[in-house]
Structure 1
Amino acid sequence: MRAAYVRRPGQADEIHVGELPDPVPAEGAVLVDVAVSAVDPVDTFVRSGLFAVPGPWPLVLGRDFAGRVAQDGGGFTAGEPVWGNSLGHGGRQGAAATRVAVAADRLYRLPDGADPAEFVAMVHPAATAFLALYPHGRLQAGETVLVAGGGGNVGSALIELASNAGARVVATASARDLAHCRALGAAEALDYHDAELPDDIDVYVDTSGTNDLAAVVPRMAWRGRIVLLAGPHSRPVLPAGELYMHDRTVVGFAISHATAGELAAAAKTLNERFSTGGLRPRAVERLALTEAAEAHRRIERGETHGRRLVLDVAV
């Protein structure tokens, strides 16, 4: 098979594109011929070693893919369009390869008529948003959700999913993204440069990784929940008294640790929303598999705001 891989953690220059042995599926796994694979910021964390993985080495990069089942197995039929989003970590080889082996409980059917590149582009941010809202944020209809960084990929998905669930969404973003946030369902969209946060926030999610808990905790409702999902190097001040005296909580999560059951719940919602016209990426740019290293560089340089990069694997 042809794949984008690294022999060890390092810079983007460590990415090679070439031939590796075809995967041998373990019991319960399904072979899939990959059409497209998304490039996510978390892929740069794995490649650089910021998010340490056990290998195997060489390690094929990438977690999200869409393609077709190569042969019957695991309840799937050869030729079925499928997708997945948990390769490339946890001892699993990655998605940026012409063929992958996927555990059947981590493989999902692609919605009818979905364009594989458009669909796979929204998978990682939308699944991350789903997990932030449920189970970690324990969102209920009628609650107020504050999305910091609403113009980004995860922020956009948070706005759409929360507003569609009956929550009141307040988003902060740059001035250029405010109209986009309102179009997705935000009741209020505030310029983050001078935004005064509202009071009585039930769920707060900061996609920018600033994690200014000193400013946010006093604004939370009784039993409000702050969900941390970005900013691996942030070291915020923790107003402990204001947390415990109002039953407020701070919880962090990384989608890499999500269980198969949590990912399956996210997949069900993603498929349903996409099938009804929702969760569309703002912009998708398709690159050749040989451009995997450049895709990583562009993400690390911060050049992909509102844009998702997808590798054409089967070419």
Structure 2
Amino acid sequence: MKAAYIEKNGPASTIKVGQLPIPELKSDEILVKVKAVSVNFVDTFVRAGSFKTKQEFPFVIGRDAVGTVSAIGRDVSQFKTDDLVWTNSMGYDGRMGTSSELVAVPEARLFHAPKVDPIKLVASVHSSATAAIVLSDVLQVESNHRILIEGGAGHVGTKFIELAKSLGLEVVTTSNPKDFEKLQHLGTDKTFDYHEPIQGNYDYIVDTSGKVNLQNNLDHLNLYGKIALITAPKDNQFDFQVRQMYTKSQSINGFVISHATLKQIQSAGKILNDNFEAGRLLTDEILTMPLDQAAKAQQLLEDHQTKNQRIVLTVE
């Protein structure tokens, strides 16, 4: 089968596209004929070796995929041949990646795909699952509360907006003013220029950029308020007043989806499918490229040349 893979960790130029053996199917696995694979920053970290995880070489790159069921293991009960399916937790922790014509996916990590554009779906699942887990499990948000989403116009920011609105929160965002109309269309109740000081007080704050002073966020966080960080500042440093934080029973939570539990992944999968069926979470601008250009795709991402588009590699 054709696959995009690496034989050692290194730059994007180490990615090769060639023939690898079809994976041997375990009893609890499904063999998926891949239609398309999204390209995420975490894929570049795994490829480069900066994200330390168990790998067996040659290592197929890629985390998320959409495709159809080609074969099933003897213990599989929830899928049948030709089902349209998706996954978003392959390509790390010892699991082979998805950038290949065929991939063997554990049944517990595979989801039925609703009747939506599969390219839009696979472009969405990484950022959407991050937002779903942060809101439902990390922050454990409650309806009729107020959330500030900093960097609302980014891929993950837009997913936070749609999911937070579906959960009954009042949503406030920061962004470039040119994105205000877009965010209001997605459901934002109030929009603020990210260049300006924070306004208002919030029960939850999500920093998607790592560019907001942590103390400023804490100053605008209510009693028992929670902050979620899904990235960090370039200098890897934040200063904040610890006494103020703990006396107001505030909390600061970090999250990366690579450390999500299987239970969190499965819960997010249901949330995503419910929202996909409702027509939400499918608004990304997408740049499609063939699997043969896997190295170029990762290099474009690392060079920040994607113009806010999500890259999707098509395999068929």
The residue that corresponds to 2:21 in the other structure is 21
Deviation of residue 253 (structure 1)?
1.4
Deviation of residue 175 (structure 1)?
2.1
The residue that corresponds to 1:223 in the other structure is 224
What's the CA shift string for 1:129-176, capped at 9, x where partnerless?
111111001111011111111111000000110012110111111122
Letter in 1 for 2:94: G
What CA distance in whole angstroms lies between the structure 2 residues aligned with 1:166 and 1:188? 15
Give secondary structure in 2 for the equivalent of 1:70: strand
Of 92, 98, 112, which aligns to 2:101? Answer: 98
Kept in 2, the 8 Å contact 1:67–1:83? The answer is yes
* Percent identity between the two aligned chains: 36
Kept in 2, the 8 Å contact 1:154–1:207? The answer is yes
Kept in 2, the 8 Å contact 1:281–1:307? The answer is no
Sort the Cα spacing of 1:165 and 1:305 in 2 relative to 1 into closer, same or farther, 3 A.
farther
Q: Count residues with an aligned counterpart.
A: 312
Letter in 2 for 1:90: D
Kept in 2, the 8 Å contact 1:214–1:237? The answer is yes
Kept in 2, the 8 Å contact 1:151–1:306? The answer is no
Letter in 2 for 1:115: D
The residue that corresponds to 1:86 in the other structure is 89
Letter in 1 for 2:55: G
Give secondary structure in 2 for the equivalent of 1:247: coil
What CA distance in whole angstroms lies between the structure 1 residues aligned with 2:274 and 2:7? 38
Unaligned runs of 5+ in 2: none
The residue that corresponds to 2:34 in the other structure is 34
Letter in 2 for 1:253: F
Letter in 2 for 1:297: Q
What CA distance in whole angstroms lies between the structure 2 residues aligned with 1:45 and 1:159? 27
Unaligned runs of 5+ in 1: none
The residue that corresponds to 2:280 in the other structure is 278
Deviation of residue 19 (structure 1)?
0.9
What's the CA shift string for 1:13-52, capped at 9, x where partnerless?
1111111111112331111111100001111111122211
Sort the Cα spacing of 1:139 and 1:176 in 2 relative to 1 into closer, same or farther, 3 A.
same
1:162 lines up with 2:160 in the alignment: no
Of 234, 240, 243, which aligns to 1:241? Answer: 243
TM-score by length of 1: 0.95
Kept in 2, the 8 Å contact 1:211–1:231? The answer is no
Deviation of residue 200 (structure 1)?
2.6
Letter in 1 for 2:136: Y
Deviation of residue 231 (structure 1)?
2.6
Sort the Cα spacing of 1:177 and 1:216 in 2 relative to 1 into closer, same or farther, 3 A.
same
1:11 lines up with 2:11 in the alignment: yes
What CA distance in whole angstroms lies between the structure 2 residues aligned with 1:29 and 1:137? 32
What CA distance in whole angstroms lies between the structure 1 residues aligned with 2:212 and 2:55? 31
What CA distance in whole angstroms lies between the structure 1 residues aligned with 2:226 and 2:174? 18
Deviation of residue 232 (structure 1)?
7.2
Kept in 1, the 8 Å contact 2:134–2:228? The answer is yes
What's the CA shift string for 1:62-98, capped at 9, x where partnerless?
1110001111341211111100000100100001111
The residue that corresponds to 2:200 in the other structure is 199
Give secondary structure in 2 for the equivalent of 1:193: coil
What CA distance in whole angstroms lies between the structure 2 residues aligned with 1:27 and 1:71? 11
Kept in 1, the 8 Å contact 2:211–2:233? The answer is no
The residue that corresponds to 1:146 in the other structure is 148
Give secondary structure in 1 for the equivalent of 2:72: coil
Give structure 1 regions of 4+ aligned residues with deviation exceeding 6 angstroms: none
What CA distance in whole angstroms lies between the structure 1 residues aligned with 2:199 and 2:224? 16
Q: How does 1:234-273 map to 2 (within 5 A)?
A: 234-273=236-275
What CA distance in whole angstroms lies between the structure 1 residues aligned with 2:287 and 2:102? 22
